Structure 1
Amino acid sequence: MGLSVVRRHCIALLILASFAGANTAHAKESPASAKVLVLGDSLSAEYGLKRGTGWVALMEQRMAADKVAATVVNASISGDTTSGGRSRLPALLAQHKPTLVVIELGGNDALRGLPLSMTQDNLMAMTRAAQASGAKVLLAGMQVPPNYGQDYTKRFSETFATVAKSTKAALVPFLLKGVADAPNAAALFQADRIHPKEEAHPTILNTMWPAIKNLLR
């Protein structure tokens, strides 16, 4: 092989290597897929349901079907309150580094008669902590039955809107819209009249999904 041929061969190899290096660098710099952390209570923890049939599991299936590049961490615990979520969140943020945090807490605060000021303070703290970590936040609002009293019912519902407005977080006003206010609502709940049946969870997902998909763009 002549010297000029060797030189041309070496130059060609160098060019190929530079392209390969550029492609590798580009791959390393490409953004990772999104990660959704769901911090909720029994409504998101599949209480009384077969595993894989709750709205969070259905969301993972919807992501796959819609080709949304995201993974889901369901950190929901039955019975959890906003105080419990607030105490758990820092470790979850450090461990999972989510790009979106869905906060679905507050219902158990009402069931336990906890002060609304405490619920609001906890929701505010969780939202700001998640945002400070670089994540977007979606608040899943909740409503209580009229038997709690008109004033409490109104103020409880407004708590979520107040936090969302103050922190510029996204808000779904009522997680159980289309379920708790459906004409056949009684048939959509388990015997305790608190937890939706399996057949209600696709409706819950349809309520949550537009906001989640928009925040993942």
Structure 2
Amino acid sequence: MFKAHNKDFHFNLPTSIELKLIKFSYFFLALLFLSCGEAKKEKTDEVQQTSEQTESTATTATETKSILFFGDSITAGYGLDDTNEAYPAVVQEKIDSLGLDYTVINSGVSGETTAGGRSRIDWVVKQDLDVFVLELGANDGLRGVDLSETRSNLQAIIDVVRGKSPDIKIVLAGMQLPPNMGQEYTTEFKQLFEEIAEKNNIAFIPFILKDVGGIASLNQQDGIHPTIEGHKIVANTVWETLRPLL
């Protein structure tokens, strides 16, 4: 004990309970500090992970190539309850099963003629394309359009696509007509597709309705447009020519 000015100064030592409280306070502060640090670290990791995922998605989207099917009611899937049952969608399933980075775009319009296709091709090719499948001409033939006009329109469409990019791979789908259109007309109609494909040195599908056309069970009641099963066969026919290009 120390005396000064007749007053005693006492230095009281903390009790055991007080010591425990002090230690607990320090422990709590340390725990709080660590927790804040871990939360900040977790938030940083989360942002970094999200950023990496976004970059990965953007890269994948950029690397994915496009296949555009430019056609009429056959391509559009006329008469089907769901366009996902049309042959372009079936082709997409084949592509996905092989893990190929291609996205199919269905640009089919029911009732489309080669003239109609020619009028809208400039708008269609504004998007980036890697493969262009041209399936037009059937409606020209059924309407008896002059073959020189059909030929001119198909060639014009091909020229526009190549003008967009010479690297776009073009596939021409051939078509045939029923014999009631006249032997001379139907023969020349069939040949014009072959000649255009040869002239432009592009991939060629001789008859897109191979093993489907004229078979009642594979066509709808109109006898022209394929059923779901018919579209599966059409997809197989298209795939035979398309797959080597991918």
Shorter chain as normaliser: what TM range? 0.7 to 0.9
CA contact (8 A) 1:60 1:71 kept: yes
For the pair shown, the structure with the greater C-alpha radius of gyration is 2
Q: Which sits farther off after the overlay, 35-44 or 125-134? A: 125-134
CA distance in 1, matches of 2:63, 2:240: 22
Which residue, out of 68, 72, 76, partners 2:104? 72
CA contact (8 A) 1:127 1:169 kept: no
Structure 1 segments, 4+ long, off by >3 Å, are none
CA contact (8 A) 1:130 1:136 kept: no
Which residue, out of 194, 197, 208, partners 2:224? 194
Instruction: Name structure 1 gaps, 5 residues minimum.
Output: 1-23
Which structure is higher in RCO with an 8 Å CA cutoff and minimum separation 6? 1
Question: Equivalent residues in 2 for 1:1-217 (5 A)?
Answer: 32-51=63-82, 52-94=84-126, 96-134=127-165, 135-180=168-213, 185-216=215-246
**Which letter does structure 2 place at the counterpart of 1:169?**
I
CA distance in 2, matches of 1:125, 1:41: 17
**Which letter does structure 1 place at the counterpart of 2:78?**
Y
Q: For the aligned residues, what is the CA RMSD?
A: 1.8
Question: SS of 1:75's equivalent?
Answer: strand
CA shift for structure 1 position 210? 2.1
For this pair of structures, how many residues does the alignment match? 186
Cα offsets for 1:75-129 (capped at 9, x unmatched): 11000000111111111111x2211110000000011111100000111111121
CA distance in 1, matches of 2:212, 2:174: 14
Instruction: Name structure 2 gaps, 5 residues minimum.
Output: 1-54
CA distance in 2, matches of 1:109, 1:138: 19
**Which letter does structure 1 place at the counterpart of 2:101?**
A
CA distance in 2, matches of 1:50, 1:104: 21
CA shift for structure 1 position 158? 0.6
TM-score by length of 2: 0.72
